[in-house]
Amino acid sequence: MVQYLHGYNTQEQQRLIDQAGFLGPLIYPSVDFSDCKNLLEVGSGVGAQTAVLLGLFPELRITSVDFSEAQLAKARENLSGFSDRVTFVNQDVQYLDLREKFDAAFFCWALEHISDPQAVMHRVKSHLLPGAKIHITEVFNSTFYYEPASPALAHYYRVYNQQQRNFGGNPDVGAQLGNLLAHAGFKQIQLSRSGFHLDQSQPDELRGFIEFWKMLMKSGAPGLLDTGAISQNEIDAMESDLDGILADENAVFFYQFVQAKAMA
Ligand SMILES: C[S@@+](CC[C@H](N)C(=O)[O-])C[C@H]1O[C@@H](n2cnc3c(N)ncnc32)[C@H](O)[C@@H]1O
């Protein structure tokens, strides 16, 4: 059985759509596939990013790969209006095997779940034409910082990240993107960071990101309850701590993710 931090229930599938909309303004300023025709999307989920890419780049055809048939079924439903521009493939990208070669590749929040990200970078590179563009967005969970001290949030976050490691993933894989691309032979590697640094000078943004963070944290809750790693009381306490940050006059809420662009 596949072990996956966020699970595949309908609430999680909707969260991915909401997340793509909410974080879009942070993710997409560095994405440019306007001169590309044929894009490989790795770990495409329910097609939340696929929809954004199709909208931004009307010339693009996309092959979306995910190893969850449940996600792909939802993606087909979500993107039913684009059947001429999207192909769905059910494969584990660690063993990616397609006949086609692509002039672009896109990853968003996928590599963090994969036990051998280097193998994936090699596999993807072998499916790209010389000069193809790649764009990756990934977590760097060790950058999460907040004030005031919030012990229940700190505990939950530790357990959440440990679950990802136990399932073979890496919650800090964003920090490794440059190395992964370089070792796979990509050139012109450019790294950048995005995310949020919020406090009471921007109360509305602070509220929005705290609500987003609650949903993100709770996406791991069913799996954490299943393995007995966390109790319902601890989930409730984590949420109360986040409300406590929002109410604190000296609140700080900070997180950075990493983006990488390169050429095959
Ligand atoms: C957090 S979701 C992100 C989905 C999408 N990129 C987005 O941003 O909405 C990660 C997706 O990667 C898929 N995934 C994880 N490991 C995979 C693997 N080895 N091969 C293919 N898909 C994988 C999961 O099934 C899940 O749908």
Residue 207 sits in a domain of what CATH number? Answer: 3.40.50.150
Does the residue 252 lie in any domain? yes
Does the residue 5 lie in any domain? no
- Looking at the CA of residue 94, tell me the nearest atom of ligand 1: 19
pLDDT value at 190 more than 60: yes
Domain containing residue 92:
10-263
Does the residue 177 lie in any domain? yes
Residue 4 is predicted with a pLDDT of: 85
Specify whether the CB–CB gap between 232 and 225 falls below 8 A.
yes
Q: How much is the average pLDDT of 180-201?
A: 98
Does the residue 3 lie in any domain? no
Q: Whose CA is nearest to atom 10 of ligand 1?
A: 110
| Ligand 1 close to Cβ of residue 14 (< 6 A) | no
Does the residue 236 lie in any domain? yes
Does the residue 2 lie in any domain? no
Specify whether the CB–CB gap between 257 and 140 falls below 8 A.
yes
User: From ligand 1's centre to the CA of 114, what distance in Å?
Assistant: 9
User: Within 10 Å of residue 185's Cβ, how many Cβ atoms?
Assistant: 12
Q: How much is the average pLDDT of 154-177?
A: 97
Percentage of the chain exceeding pLDDT 90:
95
Residue 1 is predicted with a pLDDT of: 57
- C-alpha span between 99 and 107 (Å, rounded): 20
User: From ligand 1's centre to the CA of 203, what distance in Å?
Assistant: 32
- C-alpha span between 197 and 102 (Å, rounded): 36
Residue whose CB lies within 8 A of the most ligand 1 atoms, among 26, 41, 52, 68, for a mutation test? 68
Does the residue 107 lie in any domain? yes
Torsion of CA 41, 42, 47, 50, to 10 degrees: -20
pLDDT value at 166 more than 90: yes
Residue 138 is predicted with a pLDDT of: 98
Does the residue 1 lie in any domain? no
Specify whether the CB–CB gap between 246 and 180 falls below 8 A.
no
Structure-token pair, residue 69: 């048939």
Looking at the structure of the chain, the number of domains it has is 1
pLDDT value at 78 more than 60: yes
Residue 208 is predicted with a pLDDT of: 97
User: From ligand 1's centre to the CA of 245, what distance in Å?
Assistant: 31
- C-alpha span between 106 and 31 (Å, rounded): 9
